[in-house]
Structures are given as structure tokens and as C-alpha cells.
Chain A
Amino acid sequence: MQGLIIDDVTKRYGPVTAVENVSLGFDSGKMVCFLGPSGCGKTTLLRMIAGLDLPTNGRISFDGADMTSVPPHKRDIGMVFQSFALFPHLSVGENIAYGMRIRGASKAECAERTKELLELIHLPGVEDRRISQLSGGQRQRVAIARALALDPKIFLLDEPMSALDANLRESMQIELRLLQQRLGITTIVVTHDQTEAMTMADEIVVMGHANVHQVGEPQDIYKNPVNRFVADFIGTSNLLPAKMVAPDQIELHGETLKIATNTGDFAAGTEVLLLNRPEEVMVRNRGQKKPSNSIPGTVSFVRDIGATIEILVDCQGQEVISMLTPKDSPNVEAGMEVYVEMPVEACSVLAV
């Protein structure tokens, strides 16, 4: 059995359950993001893969070998910590070569590999610097180089971007993804930032309250969230209480709207949530003929930031967001009566 298998893993700290009955499987070479709000158990799950925490129940195996109770130093993993955890008493070069020295590599081998790794992370020639002389971004690169020095089977990163400023974070996300693709190493990143997960991951595991809510490719999760939690957490959503009137029709504010997907197979009469994404929703002037699949509302705020125009519409006390671009030239302003058009293919329903 290839790849990483997490089989029915549970972790309890006294009365607190950090991870509950989680089962996951990933192919080798994939980049996976554990995404969720703080306290959802994503870091605990990562630490169990690293061997830094032991599961209360369940098994973790890699390439068919059981790793559940193997101590971290025998696991063949590389890990980047949130604080980077670089050794302050060692130079950059000594930090990177630390694992190799433990394996008994010669000074020359270490020097060669360190040079190679520093080139890989675009930071050549800093071997002799002290850790205290490095910037946050440089520290992160060194932490990555150190974790990769031993060619680990699994590369783990715990909130690797949280210590960086916003601009650096975005460029590092792309760089880390390119590095991972180049090395083809099985990588797991823990993050609470959905943009980060969408940028880097082959597969996203959305976690909340010690449970896994959804596993899938980023676009799949974005387009077809399985429940309200995922829809709220990944991107911005319009979630409106509605009622099924037919397998492909709902009633919302007295209007009957068609929906494209009803994955939950909700029967007529069921209370549901209508889900669509702001960028799919159009705002039309009242002067025009009422478009199909639309509801009336009043514009409450227009946030025009140049690249995008975000229109907040009050529909019977509920806020609907429409995200448009200048090309759509919506020509609306606050206080205007409008129709909010929700195209059929953009609409789906979730359980309340």
C-alpha cells in the first residue's frame, strides 16, 4: 500500500477530544493542506504524523509500514515548525547539516549538500551566518532546507507562513508549491488560511471541531462544499434559508428559483440553505425586465476597490453579496432598488 494512511485516528487530552475518528489516505508525491480554524485539531493530526504526539486510538502507516508508535527520530520525516525552531547556538550551515551529522555524514558531504540546499531555497552563501542575523523569510527558507536535508519521505509544515508578512507570504506560497512539485515529495501543510491552501494544495482536508468535514481538490471543495461549515470557511458564500418545492426548485422570499444541484436529494417541503458564490451573482437595475431566477433587494453598500466591485444587497433583511468586475459595469449605488440574479447553474442547496 503506497502513500500515507491515517486509519480511524483519535486523540484525546483528558476530557478534550482534539481529533476524532479521522481516516484519510494520500498518494505519494501529493501536496495536502489541512485547513481549518484554530483549535480544529489540524496541528494535532500533523504532530501525530510526525510522531510528536501519540494517537489515543487508530493507526498511521506510510508505504505499508505501521508508524503509529515509532518515535519521531526514526520516522524519516522533515518538519518545519511554526516558530521555525532553528537552533540558535548553531550557524545556518550547522543547522541544515544537523540531521546529516547525526547520520554520520562527513564534513565534506555535509558542506556539499548544504550548498546544494541553500541554492535550492535561493539563499546561497549564508552558511556561516548566525540565525539571529537572518530575516523572518530567510529563517523560513533555512527551516525548509533543514527539513529537506535528509530527503525525508514526508515533508510536514505547521502554519509555515504565519510568521511572515502578507506580501512575502503570497510569494512564498508559490515558491513552496514549485519546490514541492520539483522534488515530488509527499507534503502536508497545516494552515488556517484558505487562500494559502487553494494556492498550494493538490488536495485540501477541511477540518473543524476535531472532525474532517470534506476532502477534495481545491476547486471541487470550492464549487461543491458539503455543508455550511465548509461553504463558510472556503471563500465567501451567500447562504440563504429557503424551502424545497420540487427536486430542482426552491422557494425564497416568495419567489420560485431553479437550482442546478441538489446533492443532498432534499425532498419538497424540506428547509434548506440556498448556496451560491458572490462572483456568480449579478445585480440588475429595476428598470429592466425582471431576470429569471432573481429576487428583489435594495443595495446597502458598494465597495469599489478598482479590480473588483462588491455590492451588498439587502434582500428582506438578509445580505446577499455580488462580486463583479468593472467590465460588468453594474452602475448601481447604495439605496437603489435592484434585482439580484442567481443563475441556475450557480445555485445549490445545503442542509440547514
Chain B
Amino acid sequence: MSDQPSSASFGRLLTLVPPSIAIGLFFVIPFSLIVLSSVAHQLQSGDFVFGFDTAHYERFFTSIFIGRAVYSAILSFSIAVISLLIAFPFTYVLTGFSKRTRTIWLVYILAQLSLSEVLIAFSWQILFSRTAGITNLAVWLGVLDKPFSLAPSALAVLVGLVYLALPFAVLLLFPALSRLDRSLIEASQTLGASPVRTFFTVVLPVSRPALISGGVTVFVLTLGAIIVPQVLGRPGHWTLSVLITDQAIYNSNMPFASALAVILLLMSGAVIGVVGWLNRGSGK
């Protein structure tokens, strides 16, 4: 009997082994290699040798790439804000419906997650095209004189990524909003607040933690998207993730691609850290 707690904790430790190995093999080792190669020497041949060379980071801070990093951050931030603006009212209304209606809508939203980013990107490319796109619909309705192409453009990238992020935003907000105490809303109304006012003074502030975690997830998710910006944007609309792919595969510059990857990771980490700090203590 006396050895039961220790054997139980041994068993518990044992269950931690497979995920630890998986994380070690598939995250720690590759990431260490990325950090090492980001300070490696790039050779003329396209190959590189390990060493300590900060040239790739210097290149980042003196080149257009820093602008691309800022652009990526602003784009991802806008997408996070826009998806929350759409997802929050939608989810709020959805949680008020009957269980059956909610389930149907959630399955409908979840179904979209089964579509790959590639499929979504090319579908939007068709929708934004001159020959078969939505402008034809506008022409048919008499709004436009002749159809034109909407992609490639920054707006097309934005729309594509918002579409990609929306189901995630809804799914992240849903638990918090369905747990929201409806009597808070009623109390606010009996105190003279209109439904709109109640939404802004009670529903939004009470849901702040969910909004923040949803926003961060969407931000990080879109920061890593590489297909939608390539398919729906010009090179000028490419995000840092696309440029990393471009450097690694097409320019055979692994050290620089690695340096950019480290910077991207630091950006994501910084956002998560700052938001976590801002959100401290609001968990109760």
C-alpha cells in the first residue's frame, strides 16, 4: 500500500514520456538547428557552414525585410480585429438560440475547418477573378459596367485570411459566450441600459479574456499563413512567412530564412507575452 503513491506518480510520469519525446524530436531539435543556422556562414555555393555570423540579422534590420515584418504584424492584427468584429456578434446571437440550432451552425462552421488553406486560397482566387468572379454578379445586378479582377491585391489577402480565421474565432469565443450569465444582461436592462448599451457595457467587458485569447490565436495563426498571401497577393503583399519560404527554397539561403524565422517567432512570443501581461488578474 505504501508504495502506491510513488508507483502512481511513476505511472503519471510515464505518460509524459511520449509527448516529451515528440516535442523534443519535432520541436526542440529542429528549433535549435534553426537558431544555429540563423548565425551560420552562407557560402557562395548556396550551402552554409555552422559558425557565429550575425550578418543575417544585420541584413534584416537594414533591409526592406523589417518593413515586411511590420506589414505582416499589422496585417495579422487587422485580421484578428476584423474576425473578432464579425465573430463576436455572430457567436453572441448564436448562443441565444436553441441547442439544436446552435449545433447545426457549429457543425457548419467546423466543416469549413476541413477545407485546406490551398483550397480556400484558390476558391477565393476564382471568386476574385475577372472572368468568373463576384464582379460578374455585380454586373448582372447592374451595379457595375464590366467585370474586373479583384486579385491579386492586399484586400484580397485580407479577405482570404479573415475567411480562414473566422471559424477559429467563433470556436474560441463560443465556450465563453455560452457560459455568460444571462441574468447579467437582464440586470443591465432592468437598470435602464438598452440592449446595445448592455452589449458594450456588460457583454463585451465580461468576455474580455475570451476576446483577447481569441485575438492572439488568430494573430499567430495568420502570421504563419503562407499560401493565401502568395495566391491572392503580389510579392508586395507577401507576409514574413512567405518570405521565409522564398528565402529557404528559392534563394537557397537557409541562414537568412532561419534568422527571419527566429524573428517571426520572437514577434509571436512578444505578442503573447504582452497580451498575457495586459490580461493578468482578469481571470477571476
Contact = CB atoms under 8 A, between A and B. Distances in A.
Given A87-B184, A87-B202, A132-B284, A52 B189 contact: yes
B128 to A, nearest CB: 41
Given A83-B181, A85-B183, A87-B184, A72 B202 contact: no
A107 interface: no
B183 A98 contact: no
Contact of B191 (A88, A89, A132, A146): A146
B40 to A, nearest CB: 50
A73 B193 contact: yes
**Max chain A CB contacts within 10 Å: which of B192, B195, B201, B205?**
B192
Given A52-B186, A85-B184, A85-B187, A73 B206 contact: no
Interface stretch (A74-82, A117-125, A244-252, A332-340): A74-82
Interface in B163-218: 181, 183-184, 186-195, 197, 201-202, 205-206, 208
A89 B184 CA distance: 11
A99 interface: yes
A322 to B, nearest CB: 45
Contacts of A71: 189, 194
Given A52-B186, A83-B181, A132-B284, A89 B193 contact: no
A75 B190 contact: yes
Interface residues of A, number: 30
Given A102-B197, A132-B284, A88 B189 contact: no
**Max chain A CB contacts within 10 Å: which of B187, B206, B208, B282?**
B187
A73 B189 contact: yes
B192 A103 contact: yes
Contacts of A77: 190
A253 B126 CA distance: 92
A79 B197 contact: no
A259 B85 CA distance: 73
Contacts of B188: 87, 98
A88 B195 CA distance: 19
B181 A85 contact: yes
Contact of A147 (B190, B193, B201, B208): B190
Nearest to A131: B284
A99 to B, nearest CB: 4
Nearest to A83: B183
Contacts of A311: none
A50 interface: yes
A172 interface: no
Contacts of A83: 181, 183
A226 interface: no
A99 B190 CA distance: 9
Contacts of A52: 186, 189-190
Interface string B244-284: 00000000000000000000000000000000000000101
B169 to A, nearest CB: 21
B192 A150 contact: yes
A193 to B, nearest CB: 20
Nearest to A80: B187
Interface in A94-128: 98-99, 102-103
A72 B206 contact: no
A77 B197 CA distance: 18
Contacts of B284: 88, 130, 132
A72 B208 contact: no
A9 to B, nearest CB: 19
Contact of B206 (A50, A88, A99): A88
**Max chain B CB contacts within 10 Å: which of A73, A75, A146?**
A73
B206 A85 contact: no
Contacts of B194: 71, 73
Nearest to A81: B183
Contact of A102 (B183, B193, B206): B193
A50 B68 CA distance: 56
Contacts of B190: 50-52, 72-73, 75, 77-79, 147, 156
B189 A102 contact: no
Nearest to B205: A89
Contacts of A72: 186, 189-190
A77 B190 CA distance: 6
Nearest to A101: B201
Contacts of B206: 87-89
A52 B186 CA distance: 7
**Max chain B CB contacts within 10 Å: which of A52, A82, A156?**
A52
A87 to B, nearest CB: 6
Contacts of A150: 191-192
Contacts of B187: 79, 81, 85-87, 146
A182 to B, nearest CB: 22
Contacts of B184: 85, 87
A85 B186 contact: yes
A140 B280 CA distance: 28
Interface of B: 181, 183-184, 186-195, 197, 201-202, 205-206, 208, 282, 284
16 contacts: A52-B186, A71-B189, A71-B194, A72-B186, A73-B190, A73-B193, A77-B190, A78-B190, A87-B184, A89-B205, A98-B191, A102-B192, A102-B201, A146-B191, A147-B191, A150-B191
Interface of A: 50-52, 71-75, 77-79, 81-83, 85-89, 98-99, 102-103, 130, 132, 146-147, 149-150, 156
* Smallest CB-CB A-B distances: 9 pairs: A99-B191, A85-B187, A85-B183, A72-B189, A79-B190, A89-B205, A81-B183, A73-B189, A102-B192
Given A85-B181, A102-B193, 12 more contacts: A51-B190, A73-B189, A73-B193, A77-B190, A79-B186, A85-B183, A85-B184, A86-B187, A99-B191, A102-B201, A146-B187, A149-B191
